[in-house]
Amino acid sequence: MRAAVVTSFGGPEAVEIVEVETPEPGAGEVRIKVAAAALNPVDAGVRVGAFGGAGRRLGLGWDIAGTLDAVGAGADRQVGEEVVALHYGMGADLGSHAEYVVVPAAAVAKAPTTVDTVHAATLPLNALAAAQALDLLSLDPGQSLVVTGAAGALGGFAVRLAAHRGVTVTGVARPADEEFVRSLGAAHFSTGQVAAGGAGAVLDAAQLGERAPAWVRDGGAFTGVIPGAQPASVRGVRTAAVEVAADGARLAELVRLVDDGVLTLRVAETFALAEAAKAHARLAEGGIRGRLVLVP
């Protein structure tokens, strides 16, 4: 099968399309014939060596939408199911930017029925990360939350999920994104001017660093999106950073929110798998609203 990988770090030109053996599922695993797989900033991080792995072949791609093609022993799934899944790809030699991918059966959920496969492929990584980040914050209805990067993929899901739970959200983004961020359910909008100590919690999807924790009231909560990079606790503020985990049951809940019209999935552009390097170049240009999606 064909797969997008990197064997040396660098720019978009470091992405290679190689021929490899089609993986076989082991016990408790399933193989998915990939129909679409989103490209995310974490893939660019792998490509440039931000997570290590020098001298090894590293696979690319975490999001998956496709069809179950083979089922390992003990995996309670059926061949032919249309599914979505998160492939936790850190350090893996193959990812979802391939014609086939093997994942634990527990990572899989039935695909949404109200959107096409390309849109479905934008759900797993960013929606799971947003949901799990909100879990770390443990907010009740009526509490206040600032979400930075509110027009981005992860931040946008966080705004919508929090607002759906009754949390009062302030979205921080560029001025041109105000209408969109408010459409997600943000009660307030800011381009970066937030009162110090005025928020019950902050989810820093934009990785603003030192500015964002200052917005949290004493005893509040802060969650970042780079594992291990959260600031030290001051003024009794709980600090954490989300490390996304594959969770098929939680993903199924998010799929239901898509089908119920609560979550909207955004696609900016599609590329053939053979154009993976071109897709990385487009990602590097920035200014994208919605995900870039590879289609094998």
Residues 6 and 119 in one domain: yes
Q: What is the mean pLDDT of residues 135-155?
A: 96
**Cβ pair 157, 130 in contact under 8 A:** yes
pLDDT for the residue 10: 97
pLDDT for the residue 232: 85
Per-residue pLDDT reduced to its tens digit, 184-218: 999 999 998 888 888 999 999 999 878 899 999 99
Residues 20 and 42 in one domain: yes
Per-residue pLDDT reduced to its tens digit, 71-129: 999 999 999 999 999 999 888 999 999 999 999 999 999 999 999 999 999 999 999 99
Considering just the CA atoms, what is the radius of gyration of the chain in Å?
19
Q: What is the pTM of this model?
A: 0.96
Please report whether residue 249 resides in a domain: no
SS3 helix, strand, coil % of the chain, rounded to 5? Answer: 30, 30, 40
Distances (CA, A) of 122 to 209, 213, 263: 26, 29, 11
State which amino acid sits at residue 273: L
Residues in the chain: 296
pLDDT for the residue 195: 87
Distances (CA, A) of 204 to 67, 124, 147, 284: 34, 19, 6, 21
Residues 7 and 118 in one domain: yes
As a whole number of angstroms, the distance between CA 224 and CA 213 comes to 10
| 67 pLDDT above the threshold of 90 | yes
pLDDT for the residue 248: 98
pLDDT for the residue 100: 98
Q: What is the mean pLDDT of residues 28-45?
A: 97
Distances (CA, A) of 168 to 164, 182, 203, 239: 10, 12, 13, 20
Residues 217 and 283 in one domain: no
Please report whether residue 171 resides in a domain: yes
Across the chain, what does the average pLDDT equal? 96
Please report whether residue 47 resides in a domain: yes
Residues 118 and 10 in one domain: yes
Please report whether residue 74 resides in a domain: yes
Per-residue pLDDT reduced to its tens digit, 146-172: 999 999 999 999 999 999 999 999 999
If one counts the domains in the chain, the total is 2
Q: DSSP for 115-132?
A: S-HHHHTTSHHHHHHHHH
Q: What's 261's DSSP letter?
A: T
Residues 12 and 42 in one domain: yes
| 29 pLDDT above the threshold of 90 | yes
Per-residue pLDDT reduced to its tens digit, 212-256: 999 999 999 999 998 888 888 889 999 999 999 999 999 999 999
CATH classification of the domain holding 7: 3.90.180.10
Please report whether residue 256 resides in a domain: no
Residues 108 and 204 in one domain: no
- Among the listed residues 117, 100, 121, 92, the one whose alpha carbon sits nearest the alpha carbon of residue 3: 100
Q: Which residues lie below 8 Å from residue 171, measured CB to CB, with a gap of 6+? A: 147, 150, 151, 155, 159, 181, 182, 184, 186, 188, 189, 190
Crossing angle of helices 153-164 and 124-137, rounded to 10°: 50
pLDDT for the residue 91: 87
Residues 87 and 154 in one domain: no
- Among the listed residues 277, 74, 264, 109, the one whose alpha carbon sits nearest the alpha carbon of residue 181: 264
Q: How confident is the model at residue 287 (pLDDT cuts 50, 70, 90)?
A: confident
Residues 11 and 119 in one domain: yes
pLDDT for the residue 173: 96
Q: What is the mean pLDDT of residues 7-31?
A: 97
As a whole number of angstroms, the distance between CA 83 and CA 59 comes to 21
As a whole number of angstroms, the distance between CA 111 and CA 53 comes to 32
CATH classification of the domain holding 130: 3.40.50.720
64 backbone dihedrals φ, ψ, rounded to 5°: -140, 135
Please report whether residue 211 resides in a domain: yes
pLDDT for the residue 28: 97
Q: What is the mean pLDDT of residues 260-280?
A: 98
Please report whether residue 254 resides in a domain: no
Residues 111 and 186 in one domain: no
pLDDT for the residue 231: 84
In the numeric block, the tokens 């979505």 are attached to 84
pLDDT for the residue 26: 97
Residues 190 and 273 in one domain: no
As a whole number of angstroms, the distance between CA 244 and CA 14 comes to 26
pLDDT for the residue 142: 96
CA–CA–CA angle 41, 45, 46 (5° rounding): 120
Residues 17 and 90 in one domain: yes
Please report whether residue 283 resides in a domain: yes
Its domain, for residue 135, covers 126-241
